[in-house]
A = this chain, B = another copy of it.
Amino acid sequence: MKAKVYVTIKENVLDPQGNAVQGALHTMGFGEVGKVRIGKYLEVEIAGNDRAKAEAQLKEMCEKLLANTVVEDYRFELEG
């Protein structure tokens, strides 16, 4: 199975990297650009066919390693 994991910075947490990209885009002439938020996108292959088990494992992986749940949110989609 293949999982797509999205890790984003929580809404009320500052995103200096996003602000820097926003500033760069403005400097380049893209004045219409508003807020930019930058997160991570992971593709994870998981062996086996047990969907429920894979979902439980993904949740645990996100909580323990992939996301810092103090300042980040995560969500994932399982395919196949």
A binding-site residues for B, Cβ under 8 Å:
6-8, 18, 21, 24-25, 28, 30, 32-48, 54, 57, 60-61, 64-66
Contacts and interface: CB of A to CB of B under 8 A. Distances in A.
Nearest to A38: B42
A60 to B, nearest CB: 8
B39 A38 contact: no
Contact of A35 (B6, B37, B45): B45
A42 B47 CA distance: 29
Nearest to A64: B28
A36 B65 CA distance: 13
Contacts of A48: 32
6 contacts: A30-B61, A33-B44, A34-B47, A35-B44, A38-B42, A39-B41
